A and B are shown apart, each in its own frame.
Chain A
Amino acid sequence: MHIIESGNVAAATGVKLSRAQVIAAYPITPQTPLTEKLSEFVESGQLEAQYIPVESEHSAMAVCIAASTAGTRAFTATSANGLLYMNEQLHWAVGARLPIVMCVANRGIGAPWTVWNDHQDSMAQRDVGWIQLYANDHQQIIDTVIKAFRLAQTVSIPVMVCYDGYLLSHTYMPFDRPEQSEVDSFLPAFAPKHFLDPDNPGNFNTVTLPDVRPGVDGVLEPGYIEIRHNLHQDLRAALTSYEEIDRDFEKQFGRGGTPFVEEYRCDDARFVAVAIGSLSYQLRDVIDTMREDGIAIGVMGVQMYRPFPDEAIARALAGKECVVVLEKALSYGNQGPLYGDIKSALYRLEERPVVHNYILGLGGREIKTQQLLEALTESCTKPQAIEDTPRWIGLKLQE
């Protein structure tokens, strides 16, 4: 059924349809309406779950870790500094291989204090080992949340579903709300391999020595490096599993088919703009304008950032003349994180496109379509000029 609602409500509805069993969250702008909606669902009996209020984000993730270890489907959500406060527990959740799902309504990070959108919060978490999916609109938010629960429990790795704070979290858009029965047949009940079981007691994640060693029963147990190697291998394999899950989703709901990147007018393009989140949809307007002026340009939205779909990206960008990566995040003192990853994905090609990097929109600075048009025109006119990387869009520096 089509409804008109905010992005946060789209996320909450996805969580409800996925039948999360334990929800623990601490409110933070711009995620707050999502957790409020979920507490409404639980209070009114529409969602049969334990809603556990906590005193911090660190505790929220600790509760999810405990709930997931006990064998239940756990969910939380946060933004910005709340996500950073959770950091230590994020590492724990993934090392323990717990299929927790978390929404991140993307927001800039203080200092200086900001509540507006950019991608620095989740980008700063790219190396913890969580799977990161990004939604570009409200439909993708609800769909991605449902797919995220299935992916998490398939690969035993937690998943972040990220979407732009305010731009998506607080705006209202029409989207299709799947039927409960359809979601139930797409998302089987959570049946964990390892969980807290009084009939089969075990120690989880106690001190694990540098080398392999026999346990009390004489069976050889892996050391730390083996366990972490297994996580990395599973993350790489998760690319294939997510492709399959996305295909199943498309079969059932008629939406999907672009698990890694979403291309727009890229087929015959010489130039491709690359972005994450709602910016990739805003860029479509710019691309349409430039196409009218005869410039062969397309746009590619990156929807899965970790594990990094490097092969899919290299395939999509092979043969292009220039790739322009526009980012709302920065690896300070170096370059945009996506820019670095894309360059490394393209390294395998014999003929490599030139790659440009633009930083924009930090702390919610409005991104004007005219500015995007000027930047992309500059890159398409002088693709060989890359001396000043990254370049910035919309800076108002006083001379």
Chain B
Amino acid sequence: MVKSNYCKMISRSKPGPGDGGNTGSWRVMRPIINLDKCIPVKTGKKACFNCWLYCPDCVVTKTIPPTIDLSFCKGCGICAEECPADAIEMVDEASQTAKEK
């Protein structure tokens, strides 16, 4: 057998949201933004955005107010740690899902 089509299969995917699966389902702690404390919301200016900058999964938007895509947020808590205004609180995911039901 002479084969010319080697390497038909490799792990190569298009980058984009959800490429690593529905990673939001891994979350045990959920970040919640307190808009009263959030600097861009308070000042009305496109300022700070440390949460957007530090999020390793790029799920925080650089908008007023900032939003978090919970489909892919793994709940690592880096945004809460980096927020200079302490505007982000990490809360138990189970309590939130119970509330949503």
Give the residues in chain A near B18, CB-CB below 8 Å: 216
> Please, which residues of chain B bring their CB within 8 A of the CB of A206?
11, 13, 19-20
Shortest B22–chain A CB gap in Å is 10
Q: Number of B residues contacting the other chain (C-beta, 8 Å)?
A: 19
A237 touches B11 (CB 8 A): no
Contact A203/B21 with A155-B6, A237-B3 known, Cβ cut-off 8 Å: no
Q: Which single residue of chain B is at the shortest CB-CB distance from A208? A: B11
Which residue from chain A places its CB closest to the CB of B12 in the assembled complex?
Answer: A202
Q: Nearest-CB distance from B9 to chain A (Å)?
A: 4
Whether B6 and A156, one on each chain, are in contact in the complex, defined by CB atoms closer than 8 angstroms, is yes
Shortest beta-carbon distance, B78 to chain A, in Å?
A: 20
B12 touches which one: A95, A155, A194, A226 (CB < 8 A)?
Answer: A194
Chain B residue nearest to A203 (CB atoms) is: B13
Return chain A residues, CB-CB under 8 Å to B8.
230
Given A156-B6, A215-B19, A237-B6, also A204-B11 (CB < 8 A): yes
In this assembly, does A205 line the interface, its C-beta being within 8 Å of a C-beta of chain B?
yes
A residues within 8 A CB of B44? Answer: none
Bound Cα distance from A156 to B15, whole angstroms: 23
Asked whether, in the complex, the Cβ of B14 is within 8 Å of the Cβ of A217, the reply is yes
CA distance A234 to B9 in the complex (A): 10
**Contact between A204 and B10, CB atoms less than 8 A apart:** yes
Chain A 132-167 interface residues, beta-carbon cutoff 8 Å to B: 154-157
Q: Is B98 an interface residue (CB 8 A)?
A: no
**Does more than half of chain B's interface fall in helix, strand or loop, or is it mixed?**
loop
Cα-based distance from A306 to B10 in the complex (angstroms):
21
State whether the Cβ of A97 lies closer than 8 Å to any Cβ in chain B.
Answer: yes
Question: Is the beta-carbon distance between B9 and A227 smaller than 8 angstroms?
Answer: yes
Residues of A within 8 Å of B14, CB to CB, are 201-203, 215-217
Name B6's contact: one of A95, A154, A203, A205 (CB within 8 Å): A154
Assuming the A-B contacts A203-B19, A207-B20, A216-B17, are A240 and B2 also in contact, with contact meaning beta carbons closer than 8 angstroms in the complex? yes
A96 on the B face (CB < 8 A): yes
Cα distance A241–B2 in the bound complex, in angstroms = 7
CA distance A201 to B14 in the complex (A): 7
Whether the pair A97, B15 counts as a contact (CB closer than 8 A) is: no
Closest to A213 in B: B21
Kindly provide the distance from the CB of A33 to the nearest chain B CB, expressed in whole angstroms.
Answer: 34
The residue of chain B having its C-beta at the shortest distance from the C-beta of A201 within the complex is B15
Smallest CB–CB gap between B44 and chain A, Å? 35
In the complex, are the beta carbons of A237 and B7 less than 8 A apart? Answer: no
Q: Is A209 an interface residue (CB 8 A)?
A: yes
Q: How far is the CA of A9 from the CA of B38 in the complex (A)?
A: 66
- Could you list 20 examples of A-B contacts with CB < 8 Å? A96-B10, A154-B6, A156-B7, A193-B7, A194-B10, A203-B12, A203-B13, A204-B10, A215-B19, A216-B17, A217-B16, A221-B11, A221-B13, A222-B11, A230-B7, A230-B8, A230-B9, A234-B6, A237-B3, A237-B6
